Amino acid sequence: MKALLLLMLVLALPDAPGCKSIAPNESEAHPLTDAERQDFRESWGSGASLGSVSHPQSVAVTSGPAPLAYITDQAGQVWINDNTGLKWGPVPVGARTVVRVAEETGIAIGSVRLAAGPLPEGRTYTINVGVPADRGWRNGTVGGSVGSGSAEQQK
């Protein structure tokens, strides 16, 4: 008897209130109105030139007071400037090159030392990466603090 009651309850659940979706079936296509069709044709189907797309020649990847560091993701040109208008570089670099600015040790891009320390205090430095015209450019941010050991080891 208990099994029969359970079977009846299971069979009745799909008809219970609140169990059916009242949203339209997502597999059905939304019929376009004539105005929507015309807007689409005007936007994409005219065949007219959309014009040229412009891309930046360079990107400021990080900025702030020393110490400042950046690791390049790909080959290109890197240079550093400060808030007084001084510029160091550009220097051609390969992927995974370390760029460093420190008041005590100076400015270095990879193995190239551009300025010996000590640097003047209180300046803001910006690390710039040139964007190759013939290739795309990518950038990412890695969170966390700079220090020895992993975050799990420090806890």
**How are beta strands 68-71 and 98-102 bridged, if at all?**
antiparallel
The tokens for 54 are 């412009």
The domain limits of the chain are: 58-133
**Using one digit for the tens of pLDDT, what is the confidence trace for 32-73?**
788 887 777 776 655 555 555 566 788 899 999 999 999 998
Of 96, 99, 76, 101, nearest to 86 by C-alpha is: 101
Residues of the chain with pLDDT under 70: 1-30, 43-55, 133-155
Q: Look up the pTM and report it.
A: 0.55
